A = this chain, B = another copy of it.
């Protein structure tokens, strides 16, 4: 079968790999009908050291169950399913707590070496721990809501996690740092959770326009000190109750820590490219909360799915390009060059 493999920075290819097959009784085989490229895939696309064997890519997918192992009970052949970006057993104490990203038997999509799993950016995947991982969707394989449903595998759940971690709530002011797909979903989530004022920090015209349509009340295009000054101006100098850090760079985390209000919270979902949380002494005196991490999107699917089905939220609008599997390298390029917010793949 064909699948996406990255061999080094800038070198991503669609190549032939062994067919996905059942290896354990808890596995399922899923034929991928929708996948996508994640902002986090761009980190290795920028930085990965060359590796002969390469790394299998993709961790967001919807597909049709083709086969299940003998111990799989919650999905069956023909089901339309969505897979979160974290593979989890659904039975350990962390899964019971709703923190499936810390599942005691958890695995990750893709990767390299002997323990690599299939990646979502391919024709099919073996799904480990299928009962814990997969969620059956109440739709047909080509339902018009597919782009929206696909975001439940990562970005919409991640935006929701950022908002929950930042304690967004009724009447509060939320600032979203980053106008990528996750940041945009953070706007949706903030609106959904009742934020009164939603400020997005971003500078790409098409993205901030979409942010406004999703519910952003203000846009701050300045960065660094100028951006911080602007946020202070918009918040009576007090800062924001909730800051959703959706980038992961040191500069953006520093900004987050400087615009959060006393008693406020920073919800971070951008994979940290910094050592230690860059705080000032004032953050301690202000009782600032720092929370977040990889989103346990598996825990959020049940909560968000009804809003997607009823079209109360439309996170699928973050996809502004649809490609076939062979075009995946061009899709990476388009996202890396900011020509596209997020690329949907129809293998």
Contacts and interface: CB of A to CB of B under 8 A. Distances in A.
A281 B289 contact: no
A103 B114 CA distance: 57
A320 interface: no
A271 interface: yes
A99 interface: yes
A272 interface: yes
Contacts of A276: 276-279
Nearest to A281: B272
A288 B279 contact: no
A216 to B, nearest CB: 24
Contact of A284 (B97, B283, B285, B293): B293
A195 to B, nearest CB: 16
A286 interface: yes
A102 B263 contact: yes
A262 interface: yes
Nearest to A94: B262
Interface in A230-271: 262-263, 268, 271
Contacts of A284: 268, 271-272, 292-294
A263 B294 contact: no
Contact of A290 (B101, B278, B289): B289
A270 to B, nearest CB: 9
Contacts of A263: 94, 97, 99, 102
Interface in A161-211: none
Contacts of A221: none
B99 A262 contact: yes
A21 to B, nearest CB: 30
A22 interface: no
Taking each of A272, A283, A290, which has the highest tally of chain B beta carbons within 10 Å of its own beta carbon? Answer: A290
A237 to B, nearest CB: 10
A291 interface: yes
A16 interface: no
Contact of A289 (B272, B279, B285, B291): B291
Contacts of A94: 262-263
A91 interface: no
Contacts of A97: 263
Interface string A73-100: 0000000000000000000001001010
A101 B276 CA distance: 26
A287 interface: yes
18 contacts: A94-B262, A94-B263, A97-B263, A99-B263, A102-B262, A271-B284, A272-B284, A276-B276, A276-B277, A276-B279, A283-B293, A286-B293, A287-B293, A287-B294, A288-B293, A289-B290, A289-B291, A290-B291
Interface of A: 94, 97, 99, 101-102, 262-263, 268, 271-272, 276-279, 281, 283-294, 296
